[in-house]
A = this chain, B = another copy of it.
């Protein structure tokens, strides 16, 4: 009873940022499947995001991707968002979709290209100033495809130089979140391939440089919750890009491939003191074949369910079992929480907050899906690179 109330109270504070690009078309290198009703403008993306927040009560902010979400007037976009009950969140830079970036951006051997990339990053900070965003998320597609193609250390030097310049430009309340990725699109070296590299750079930069963990960006078998625990212990966990994977960076709905892993991650977040606004919970998914909006609703719900289970862990009993070396007992405490069906608790929470207990069904009934198909005709659909 009281435990359940505490869990609900904690859940009520959880905010999950959805990415503007997940509302548009995306795909694999083989095909981007088009879908009717997909947004054509940043404003239409926000309208879709507003539905997600309206139904879940848990997705109050939207991450932008520049230049995909470039507009003339970011302040006006922020007002538009506010009127929808949203706010603009993290600004994501893009230094990979220009022919100039064939061999990299800030790590490119040519100083002209590096300058161009840096200018884009600095422009992103300008945009943050206009939107009031706290976080700049940096992901670099930089790397090489062939042994010998470029000098690994020289590229690290160039990277450090660019990061230093951008960090120096940040306002006092702004942060830089540095993402790492195991591979893709580079296939031999990636310039920030693992948390260690991101951590080493952030450490030199300063307090407001933090590491972001994308759950799809690791080598096979990597224990992600260990990384989360270590980064929290070091004070360097800036946030998450949630999605799920069976093989590589599959970018499926978070919680779809390994719900137990998501639970273990949330268990470390809570145990490590990471269930605070300083750790940004973001989705970063790429919906290839399923309808966008309900997939995002589902993802938000999956994060909530994993969080609820993690909040239910009897930490006192867990500590007791751990400290006496009771392997099976300690594991059982964790599994008891995981095996609990938290859907009733979340339905209750939603009803207490005036929401429909079943957001997916409510979305279906809302007619929004039909409406956007009818209204969004003509124009160019939003998508990767559009």
The chain A residues found within 8 Å of chain B, CB to CB, are 26-31, 33-34, 96-99, 101-103, 109-110, 141, 145-154, 156-157, 182-185, 187-190, 193-197, 199-200, 203, 218-223, 225-227, 229-230, 232-234, 245-248, 250, 252-253, 256-260, 264, 268, 271-272, 286, 288-291, 294-295, 298, 305, 318-319, 321-325, 327-328, 330-335, 338-341, 343, 360, 384-385
- State A156–B343 Cα separation when bound (angstroms): 34
Contact of A219 among B221, B230, B250 (CB under 8 A): B221
9 shortest interchain CB distances as A-B pairs: A196-B196, A148-B334, A219-B219, A28-B185, A220-B220, A187-B250, A152-B229, A341-B341, A146-B331
Q: When the two chains form their complex, are residues B225 and A152 in contact, meaning their CB atoms are under 8 A apart?
A: yes
- State A374–B164 Cα separation when bound (angstroms): 42
With A30-B97, A187-B247 given, is the CB distance from A147 to B331 under 8 Å?
yes
Set of chain B residues within 8 Å of A102, measured between Cβ atoms: 33, 288-289, 325
- Distance in Å: Cβ of A338 to nearest Cβ of chain B: 8
- State A219–B34 Cα separation when bound (angstroms): 30
Set of chain B residues within 8 Å of A234, measured between Cβ atoms: 200
Contact of A247 among B182, B197, B272 (CB under 8 A): B182
Q: When the two chains form their complex, are residues A152 and B268 in contact, meaning their CB atoms are under 8 A apart?
A: yes
Contact of A148 among B154, B156, B335 (CB under 8 A): B335
Q: When the two chains form their complex, are residues B322 and A149 in contact, meaning their CB atoms are under 8 A apart?
A: yes
- Distance in Å: Cβ of A134 to nearest Cβ of chain B: 26
Stoichiometry, as copies per complex, reads: 4
Q: When the two chains form their complex, are residues B150 and A289 in contact, meaning their CB atoms are under 8 A apart?
A: no
The chain B residue with its CB closest to the CB of A151 is B322
- State A219–B30 Cα separation when bound (angstroms): 20
Q: When the two chains form their complex, are residues A221 and B288 in contact, meaning their CB atoms are under 8 A apart?
A: no
Residue in A101, A151, A187, A219 with the greatest tally of chain B CB atoms within 10 Å = A187
Q: List 18 A-B contacts (CB under 8 A).
A: A27-B185, A29-B384, A30-B141, A30-B184, A30-B384, A31-B185, A34-B99, A102-B288, A102-B289, A146-B256, A147-B331, A149-B322, A151-B319, A187-B247, A187-B252, A189-B223, A305-B339, A340-B341
Q: When the two chains form their complex, are residues B110 and A325 in contact, meaning their CB atoms are under 8 A apart?
A: yes
Set of chain B residues within 8 Å of A248, measured between Cβ atoms: 183-184, 247-248
Set of chain B residues within 8 Å of A98, measured between Cβ atoms: 31
Q: When the two chains form their complex, are residues B184 and A247 in contact, meaning their CB atoms are under 8 A apart?
A: yes
The chain B residue with its CB closest to the CB of A98 is B31
- State A3–B148 Cα separation when bound (angstroms): 20
- Distance in Å: Cβ of A320 to nearest Cβ of chain B: 11
Q: When the two chains form their complex, are residues A289 and B327 in contact, meaning their CB atoms are under 8 A apart?
A: yes
Q: When the two chains form their complex, are residues A259 and B256 in contact, meaning their CB atoms are under 8 A apart?
A: no
The chain B residue with its CB closest to the CB of A183 is B247
Q: When the two chains form their complex, are residues B33 and A330 in contact, meaning their CB atoms are under 8 A apart?
A: no
The chain B residue with its CB closest to the CB of A244 is B187
- Distance in Å: Cβ of A92 to nearest Cβ of chain B: 13
- Distance in Å: Cβ of A294 to nearest Cβ of chain B: 6
